[in-house]
Amino acid sequence: MSYVKSMAVLLSAVMSISVQAATVSQLYQAKETTPPPAATVEKVQEPPLQQFVNSLELRFTGIKLHSINDEIIVEFNYELRNKTAVGIKRVHWKTDYIADGQTFFTQNEPLIFPQSLASNEPLPLTFSASLKQFPQNIKEILLNQRELVSTQFQAKSIEFSNGTKIIVE
């Protein structure tokens, strides 16, 4: 009988170890196959000024003069390009023209497109003003040294053809 008891104790011990091993194995398998919790991704919206810059390329290309009926007209030339996939219906920015240390002219009118400005299509723009409206020192610069004129832009707003808007405060 002691042989049978010994075998029973031994068999019992082996089964206990086997059950513990199976439990530990299942635990490790569960840990290995359980996916890590999904990382929370918080989408941060860009500030309106950055959205404006990312949506529109505005480049001042220079100044030209021409005469109409003995009056000299100053043309302020730009190139505008929509950098988004959505058409632009309206864009508004302010431009200060600076020469000889002073702002001599400001444009602050929205530009409305009868048909949306298409994506990636460069659009040449010209704004005109009479030379006689400027002070004498600025007239001299515009007539002889137009390269001394610089511009400073201030973004205002963009309205897209799908109704979304960017408004820069």
How high is the pLDDT of residue 144? 93
Determine the Cα–Cα distance for residues 18 and 14; give it in Å rounded to an integer: 6
- C-alpha distances (whole Å) from 89 to each of 40, 49, 92 are 36, 18, 10
How high is the pLDDT of residue 31? 47
**Same domain assignment for residues 55 and 128:** yes
Residue stretches of the chain with pLDDT short of 50: 3-31
How high is the pLDDT of residue 169? 79
What is the value of pTM for the model shown? 0.69
Domain region containing 11: 1-37
**Same domain assignment for residues 32 and 70:** no
Which CATH number goes with the domain that contains 63?
A: 2.60.40
Q: Is residue 42 part of a domain?
A: no
How high is the pLDDT of residue 4? 43
Q: Is residue 151 part of a domain?
A: yes
**Same domain assignment for residues 88 and 110:** yes
**Same domain assignment for residues 60 and 28:** no
If one counts the domains in the chain, the total is 2
**Same domain assignment for residues 25 and 96:** no
pLDDT tens-place string over residues 53-70: 999 999 999 999 999 999
Q: Is residue 31 part of a domain?
A: yes
How high is the pLDDT of residue 100? 86
How high is the pLDDT of residue 44? 61
**Same domain assignment for residues 125 and 97:** yes
For 124-142, b/e burial (b = at least 16 CB within 10 A) is eeeeeeeeeebeeebbebb
**Same domain assignment for residues 63 and 126:** yes
Determine the Cα–Cα distance for residues 51 and 12; give it in Å rounded to an integer: 72
Q: Is residue 43 part of a domain?
A: no
DSSP code of residue 161: T
